[in-house]
Amino acid sequence: MTYLAGRGIADITGEPADCGMMGYGKADQKSAGIHLRLRSRAFVFAEWDEPDAPVLLVVAELPLVFDSVRQAVLGRLAELYGTRYTDANTMITCTHTHCGPGGYSHHTLYNITTGGFHPKTFAAIVDGIVESVQLAHADIAPATLALAFGELRDASVNRSQSSFELNPAEDRDFFPDAVDPQTTLLTIERDGVLVGAVNWFPTHGTSMTNKNRLISSDNKGYAAYAWERLAGGADYLSGSQPAFIGAFAQTNAGDMSPNLNRRPGSGPTENDFENTRIIGTRQYQAAAGLVGSGEPVEGPLDTRLTYIDLTDFEVAAQFCPDGRAHRTSGPCAAAAATAGTDEGPGFFGFRQGRNPFFDTVSAQVAYRISPQLRDSQAPKGLILPRFANRLTPLVQERIPVQLIRLGPLYLIGLPAEITIVSGLRLRRAVAAIVGAPLTHVLVAGYSNGYIHYVTTPEEYVAQRYEAGSTMYGRWELPALVQTVTRLAAAMRDGAAVERGTPPPDLSARAKGKARVRPDVQAGGAFGDVLVAPRSAYRGGDTVRAEFVGAYPNNDLRRGATFVEVQRAVDDGWVRVADDSDWATKFHWRRAGRAGSRVTITWDVPSEVDGGRYRLVYHGDVLEPGGAVRPFAAATDPFEVHA
């Protein structure tokens, strides 16, 4: 069957300096350079005879997709395309790297550790996502789609296995290794040539630890880089679309960790950069190995979306394990959530599981005052009263729940981190109604917003990190199963669903200011080389140079680069690497109050073309009058011996 499909990719890298990173919640983890740039990959799908009824899928290399981003992107798309791309047929999801700049939410909680709201990072993300959609829209052409399934068992481990063991045997037996090994690949071909792919596999974006300060797209970003650039030869700075675009999306990754030894930065090795490369390579190889083995995609495209309010959702008895009806309650933060996870410890004095002081106060005071709160939230040890969200919008309460059909594939879009058994129950509910094999129903977590975690009612009792972060209580998952059941039935029957009330637009509250202090020369003129490379190197060596720099946030160089590795040719110099490459690192540090030092490193590939090379630094100076002046500086040439 012939479909229409389009692909697009764009840079969404935010501020490389002084921006609190999102994911680990550590205020001291501020950006200080770039290892791998972040990208948005957009895919438009439409039926041949229904070209004006598309499905838009965006996979962004971000820590999280907040409602702030979704609302801004949908608003921009409405200006460009009218009603073609709407909240119902657009899914914006992310890879969940923990080393991307934060400060782009309109909800207060997520900006506490990022230094507030960062307008430049927010603009880079929104502009880049919209650009990727524009490119995908312009790329729409006839294509054939295929769907393939495999297993990947050495790229994840269950970081909360004691919680997993509380689930019934029928759930545990489905995952005998306590991991979800399914890797799913949707491919796009034109005239027999592979031009695009989307892979879904659940593992956290935490191969890089909270000690890292370089922007990184983590293991899923490396997987995409390996397929597009290393295998496909993509040049991200060429100004044209790569011949192949591949995205690596999440599913139910809530309790899936890439740290195979269940310690930060541990497993397969004790080096987080190497772990990122290995776990990313395993995902890429598993996906690429499925090419050519898939079943042709046949069937219609369809979407359903509804908004629900989780602060007081009535859950029918049939969806609750105890066979009784229950209600959710307003968002409540837990001591267990503040403790962090085994791969990223949180605040001192808190721990996963029991926190006697908070557990006792909650049981003796809060739960006695409100039996309904006790039914919803106990045994959670509360650290933040539920009415705090009324004083200031800390977290999202009204959420989109989405179901997308791409022929035989069904995607359940949820704005949360879903544990594998929670995902299994959601998948079973939809599969039973639409008549699809369970393999063909996926939970697309981290989509269209964010409300923290979803655990099963059984896992919730343990109050480990994931359960403590299940903000709307023990019956949150049953509420979502009830909702997706309704969407699946409507899709099966060709019926409409009640849209519900979308969350409010909080953009007027987003106040932040960018640094406006002019740069000063510190230790020399801008671009002066303070530490020069050696005269000669071999494959496997690391080239290093240090420059008098400028503040990198003056111009984020979205779609460009701060770094070039150049090789001499007969008529000049050609670029062989930039700050999109794994082999380069761009480090920034402050020198005095308004000066900057920039260090560039290049790991010379083991198989390298011999010749003369140099490192080039591109910077931008903020002048006292407010103008931004670009400059470029190069090291003296050095020899590289093959």
Q: Which candidate, 447, 433, 448, 409, places its Cα nearest to that of 491? A: 433
Confidence of residue 120 (pLDDT cuts 50, 70, 90): very high
Mean pLDDT in residue range 14-28 = 96
Residue-level pLDDT at 359: 83
Residue-level pLDDT at 581: 97
DSSP string, 14-46: --SEEEEEESS--TT-EEEEESS--EEEEEEEE
Which residues have CB under 8 Å from 611's CB, separation 6+?
A: 567, 568, 639, 640
Query: Are 471 and 333 spatial neighbours (Cβ–Cβ below 8 Å)?
Result: yes
Q: Which candidate, 14, 11, 105, 62, places its Cα nearest to that of 552? A: 14
Residue 387 scores a pLDDT above 80 = no
Residue 451 scores a pLDDT above 70 = yes
Give the number of other CB atoms < 10 A from CB of residue 602: 24
Mean pLDDT in residue range 308-326 = 97
- Could you say which of 132, 207, 257, 580 is catalytic? 257
Residue-level pLDDT at 328: 97
Residue 207 scores a pLDDT above 90 = yes
Residue-level pLDDT at 138: 98
Confidence of residue 90 (pLDDT cuts 50, 70, 90): very high
Residue-level pLDDT at 220: 98
- Which pTM was predicted? 0.97
Question: What would the pLDDT profile of 146-203 be if each residue is shown by its tens digit?
Answer: 999 999 999 999 999 999 999 999 999 999 999 999 999 999 999 999 999 999 999 9
Helix-helix angle 476-493:420-434, to 10 degrees:
20
CA 489 – CA 617 distance, rounded (Å): 57
Q: Tell me the Cα Rg of the chain.
A: 24
Mean pLDDT in residue range 560-581 = 97
Residue-level pLDDT at 309: 97
> Parallel, antiparallel, or unpaired for β 141-151 and 3-11?
antiparallel
Q: Is 422 assigned a catalytic role?
A: no
Q: Sign of torsion, CA 260 207 196 228?
A: negative
Mean pLDDT in residue range 473-477 = 98
CA 14 – CA 593 distance, rounded (Å): 22
Residue-level pLDDT at 345: 72
CA 567 – CA 563 distance, rounded (Å): 13
Q: Which candidate, 59, 345, 342, 100, places its Cα nearest to that of 205? A: 100
Which residues have CB under 8 Å from 147's CB, separation 6+?
A: 184, 185, 186, 187, 294, 295, 297, 407, 408, 409, 440
Mean pLDDT in residue range 471-499 = 98
Residue-level pLDDT at 512: 82
Question: What would the pLDDT profile of 282-316 be if each residue is shown by its tens digit?
Answer: 999 999 999 999 999 999 999 999 999 999 999 99
Helix-helix angle 67-81:119-138, to 10 degrees:
40
Residue-level pLDDT at 510: 83
Residue-level pLDDT at 91: 99
Residue-level pLDDT at 388: 73
Query: Are 578 and 561 spatial neighbours (Cβ–Cβ below 8 Å)?
Result: yes
Query: Are 418 and 252 spatial neighbours (Cβ–Cβ below 8 Å)?
Result: yes
Mean pLDDT in residue range 425-435 = 98
Average pLDDT, the chain: 95
Query: Are 183 and 288 spatial neighbours (Cβ–Cβ below 8 Å)?
Result: no
Confidence of residue 386 (pLDDT cuts 50, 70, 90): low
Mean pLDDT in residue range 248-261 = 98
Domains and their CATH numbers in the chain: 3-306+396-493 (no CATH), 529-641 (2.60.40.2300)
Give me the percent of the chain exceeding a pLDDT of 70: 99
Query: Are 159 and 20 spatial neighbours (Cβ–Cβ below 8 Å)?
Result: no
Residue-level pLDDT at 385: 66
Give me the percent of the chain exceeding a pLDDT of 90: 90
Give the number of other CB atoms < 10 A from CB of residue 314: 11
Q: Which secondary structure element, helix H or strand E, spans residue 8, and what is its range?
A: strand 3-11
Residue-level pLDDT at 362: 84
